[in-house]
Structure 1
Amino acid sequence: MECRPANGDSDPNQNPDKNSVGPPSALTYLDPHYWDERFSSEEHYEWFKDYSHFQHLINSNINTSSSVLELGCGNSQLCEELYKDGIVDITCIDLSYVAVDKMQSRLLSKGYKEIKVVQADMLDLPFESECFDVVFEKGTMDVLFVDAGDPWNPRQETVSKVMATLDGVHRVLKPDGIFISITFGQPHFRRPLFMDPKFNWSMEYNTFGDGFHYFFYILRKGKRLIDEKEKDQKHNDPLINMYQDELEGEDYLFRTNIDADED
């Protein structure tokens, strides 16, 4: 079944703006106008490393026949990399009309006509139920946490937005679909939200990165076990030991804001 909206730099693996300075505060990421202005002038930026760093995890979890929904595509080249790996049934969404227009033009110029790009809000997904095999997000949900306050007890407004996103993802996933989330968020902060009793998916995760690790969560719909509600996966959080290229990237601004809340 085709998913459709319901009624009612020279090196593609490098960031051309790697050394650019981000906004003065991570709270700026909550302003839609900021993204429209940014996407108007910025051609490409990859949050949380480029595809080559987690390609092995994608290939282990996504079939080439899968229908994929990407939340918050921005100006990332992720959908293009998935397409090159043989995954062609891809729908990208972004809240910014500027990002959508520029992404559509870029994909058409490269001949990637099968990839669909839709202006939509991840808090209110405009798609029919149970129509995607995979929903994917890379750093998009992290924006919701920039003003969460205490990470152990986030503000209710933040929780409501996160749960609205997860409700929508769970709804549009097929009965055996998977949700992949790439994030800064450590398991002890994400598990209470991901594993809310209303969801019937299981949770596992991997890490990737050089000095600093990012988390690659895999939530498998229909695979949750009864005793998984109390299951507490043992893990050792990786030490924060960034290399110079990570210190210079905009990810570091985002990370330091989160760390400040955790202290």
Structure 2
Amino acid sequence: MGTTQRPKVTQPEPSTALAYLDPRYWDERFSQEEQYEWFKDYSNFRHLIQAHVTSHSSVLELGCGNSQMCEELYKDGVANITCIDLSSVAVAKMENRLISRGFKDIKVLQADMLELPFGDECFDVVIEKGTMDVLFVDSGDPWNPKPETISKVMATLKGVHRVLKSDGIFISITFGQPHFRRPIFNAPDFNWSVEWTTFGETFHYFVYVLKKGRRSSYEDTTVKRFETPPINLLHEELESEDYVFRISVDEIS
């Protein structure tokens, strides 16, 4: 008896990794693609998110695209959710999808994460899943990223820090390893503590939890790890996924 093959997820692939920085690529992709999950779906890291949200939490999702994460959060009892994306196509399709599925309370806005259009201290939790990673596709040397890359990343983080409440939490799900993210997260502009963990065994995704108002002199130079049960990811699940696998060093150097 033969084994059943998992159907591969297909999506428009850019001619170069740098195309991920072009808004036109995302508009075209979202016009063709109904749903796709970067860095796996919510079920893989639900246990990590649930530790930091309640039914009363106000949550902002950066770069929602066509992910189902906001729907899953809503099903888990988080009713106050705002999603943003730079693509007007993604926003329109997300609004239509949510209304058709009965998720009328989730707000979806077209907005740039580099210039968040919200007041100070208005969210309990901000979540991003792979959205900031796009900013690094042309960063050059990962140990010494280009100044323009750092400028964009810092603009994003300063906006997140500003819109978080005094005890708010930023959750970042990423490929970025601690030795690359630590200097950025621990910049003197921020007063948050930094913890991280991973999910997956064959391949690891990193989950950072930044707690505003918790920074101490110890955390100025250290990112602390917290332990969670591992979740298996099959190698074949990674074959079609994510711009990082398609970045050529020659292309960005």
Instruction: Provide TM-score, normalisation by structure 1.
Output: 0.86
> What residue is the counterpart of 1:36 in the other structure?
27
Q: Could you tell me how far 1:16 is from its partner in structure 2?
A: 7.9
CA spacing shift, 1:258–1:63, aligned 2, 3 Å? farther
Q: Distance in 1 between matches of 2:49 and 2:225?
A: 24
Q: Deviations over 1:97-151 (max 9, x none)?
A: 0000010011011111110000000000000000000000000000000000000
Give 2:99's match in structure 1, choosing from 80, 92, 108: 108
SS at match of 1:61: coil
Q: Could you tell me how far 1:154 is from its partner in structure 2?
A: 0.1
Q: Could you tell me how far 1:226 is from its partner in structure 2?
A: 2.0
Aligned AA for 1:120?
A
Q: Deviations over 1:31-74 (max 9, x none)?
A: 00000011111000100000110011111121121000000000
> What residue is the counterpart of 2:3 in the other structure?
none
Q: Could you tell me how far 1:258 is from its partner in structure 2?
A: 7.4
Q: Distance in 2 between matches of 1:105 and 1:177?
A: 30
Aligned AA for 2:128?
E
Q: Distance in 2 between matches of 1:172 and 1:258?
A: 35
Unaligned runs of 5+ in 2: 1-5, 227-231
Q: Distance in 1 between matches of 2:116 and 2:151?
A: 15
1:193 aligns with 2:184: yes
Q: Distance in 1 between matches of 2:78 and 2:223?
A: 34
Give 1:128's match in structure 2, choosing from 91, 94, 119: 119
Give 1:50's match in structure 2, choosing from 41, 58, 61: 41
Residues 203 and 233, structure 2, Cα contact 8 Å, conserved in 1: yes
Give 2:51's match in structure 1, choosing from 54, 60, 66: 60
CA spacing shift, 1:262–1:102, aligned 2, 3 Å? closer
CA spacing shift, 1:131–1:233, aligned 2, 3 Å? closer
Q: Could you tell me how far 1:234 is from its partner in structure 2?
A: 7.8
> What residue is the counterpart of 2:229 in the other structure?
none
Q: Distance in 2 between matches of 1:126 and 1:228?
A: 30
Residues 194 and 223, structure 2, Cα contact 8 Å, conserved in 1: no
Unaligned runs of 5+ in 1: 1-14, 236-240
Q: Could you tell me how far 1:233 is from its partner in structure 2?
A: 4.8
Q: Please list every run of at least 4 consecutive aligned residues from structure 1 whose deviation after the TM superposition is greater than 4 angstroms.
A: 232-235, 258-263
Identity of aligned residues (%): 65
> What residue is the counterpart of 2:244 in the other structure?
254
> What residue is the counterpart of 1:203 in the other structure?
194
CA spacing shift, 1:73–1:196, aligned 2, 3 Å? same
Q: Could you tell me how far 1:95 is from its partner in structure 2?
A: 0.4
Q: Distance in 2 between matches of 1:249 and 1:214?
A: 16
> What residue is the counterpart of 1:8 in the other structure?
none
Q: Distance in 2 between matches of 1:233 and 1:260?
A: 34
1:92-171 mapped onto 2 (5 Å cutoff)? 92-171=83-162
